[in-house]
Structure 1
Amino acid sequence: MYQYYLDASVCYVYLSDVLEKEDPEDVKSSFRRSRWFTRGWTLQELLAPATAVFLDQSWTEVGTKWSLRDVISVITSIPGRVLKDGNIDRYSIAQRMSWAAWRETTRSEDQAYCLMGIFGVSMAPIYGEGGTKAFMRLQQEIIKISDDRSIFAWIAKEDEREEELSRGLLARSPCEFRASGDVGVSDTPLLGTRSSFSFNNNGLHIHLSLMPL
């Protein structure tokens, strides 16, 4: 689906819960509270198309992704530059994950499936596998095509930190990247020539530089 939105000349976003004749700049406006900004699948609808036109419940234009970029940036924590030029590849894996951290899906697996296009990967949907397993599969697919170590820059939920003494290297949901919005792309040259990492049946194989503290 991401490619469909990417190829579209314009994408129209109908917001049934946005009242007409409201100023989206108003912090109390229904536009800022729209459910559309909290759904997992709508993230790609926001990022992919070059032009997106927002319509309120009376089908009146509220504005475009370009004209509303500052407001949308405040609502979603997505940098205005992304909404301006659509280039998401300059942002780290952790940053892109953070954009989905507060979004919800009806099916837990869709928290992973809705992000495939944003990271340029594909995998077979297996409904019933559970959200955690689906999200871990997504991360493994991303690791196959990227050396960006920011994928490991996540924080477990507080209740899970108290219950478990140890965790694997992979996050269990986008929510665990909620504090990773400022984590940049890892600098591969600084990590040496043996910078790649991969998964196999023995787990993760990775080479890292050690730095004195």
Structure 2
Amino acid sequence: MYNWYEGASLCIAYLAETTSLSDMHNDPWFTRGWTLQELLAPRHIKFYGQDWTQLTKFSNDKKNYDVQHQIELATTITSNELESHLLTRISRRMQWAARRRVTRAKDMVYSLTGIFDVDMSIACAKAAKLRF
């Protein structure tokens, strides 16, 4: 999935509980495991709140200072880290992951592979599980 987001022309993020840019940082979207790669991988992202309203008029919210500030409040990810997360220390990326929640442990593994630049196919993971 990470590669899809990375190669996308635009990633659209729906923040179901957000009514305005100023309350964006409180949205549960920022606590879910799978959404970390949706935030970091794409070059262009557009955030929509309740009722599919645009939170800004900018074409790329990832480059908008006010959005970057809200992201940092929600995740502790700085604008520099948002721009070049693969250059960020592994321990720092682990801190971001620790703040996320998933329903199944294996979902956390799959949601983090791209963030740590690891290529692990689902088939390999299933085979490894069968061996142990």
Alpha-carbon shift at residue 122 of structure 1 (Å): 2.4
- Which residues of 2 match residues 53-64 of structure 1 at below 5 A? 53-63=46-56, 64=61
**Does the 8 A contact of 2:10 with 2:43 survive in 1?**
yes
Cα distance in 2, alignment partners of residues 125 and 39 from structure 1: 22
User: Helix, strand or coil: the match of 1:114?
Assistant: helix
CA-to-aligned-CA distance 1:104-134 (integer Å, 9 cap, x gap): 00112212221001111123334xx6xxxxx
Q: TM-score, normalized by length of structure 1? A: 0.52
Query: Once superposed, which parts of structure 1, at least 4 consecutive aligned residues long, lie more than 3 Å away?
Result: none
Select which of 87, 92, 97 maps to 2:94: 97
Alpha-carbon shift at residue 77 of structure 1 (Å): 0.6
Cα distance in 2, alignment partners of residues 66 and 77 from structure 1: 16
Cα distance in 1, alignment partners of residues 115 and 47 from structure 2: 21
Alpha-carbon shift at residue 32 of structure 1 (Å): 1.9
**Does the 8 A contact of 1:10 with 1:52 survive in 2?**
yes
**Does the 8 A contact of 1:11 with 1:53 survive in 2?**
yes
Cα distance in 2, alignment partners of residues 36 and 125 from structure 1: 27
CA-to-aligned-CA distance 1:15-42 (integer Å, 9 cap, x gap): 12222xx3x23xxx2x222111000010
Matched, 1:34 2:27: yes
Q: Structure 1: which amino acid aligns with 2:10?
A: V
Cα distance in 2, alignment partners of residues 122 and 96 from structure 1: 17
Cα distance in 2, alignment partners of residues 35 and 72 from structure 1: 12
**Does the 8 A contact of 2:32 with 2:102 survive in 1?**
yes
Cα distance in 2, alignment partners of residues 51 and 92 from structure 1: 23
- Which residues of 2 match residues 1-213 of structure 1 at below 5 A? 1-19=1-19, 22=20, 24-25=21-22, 29=23, 31-63=24-56, 64-67=61-64, 68-83=67-82, 86-123=83-120, 124-126=124-126
Cα distance in 1, alignment partners of residues 25 and 87 from structure 2: 27
- Between the two proteins, the alignment pairs up a number of residues equal to 119
User: Helix, strand or coil: the match of 1:118?
Assistant: coil
Higher Rg of the two aligned structures: 1
**Does the 8 A contact of 1:54 with 1:61 survive in 2?**
yes
Alpha-carbon shift at residue 79 of structure 1 (Å): 1.5
Cα distance in 2, alignment partners of residues 125 and 110 from structure 1: 12
**Does the 8 A contact of 1:116 with 1:122 survive in 2?**
yes
Cα distance in 2, alignment partners of residues 125 and 59 from structure 1: 37
Gaps of 5+ in 1: 130-213
**Does the 8 A contact of 2:86 with 2:117 survive in 1?**
no
Q: TM-score, normalized by length of structure 2? A: 0.82
User: Helix, strand or coil: the match of 2:105?
Assistant: coil
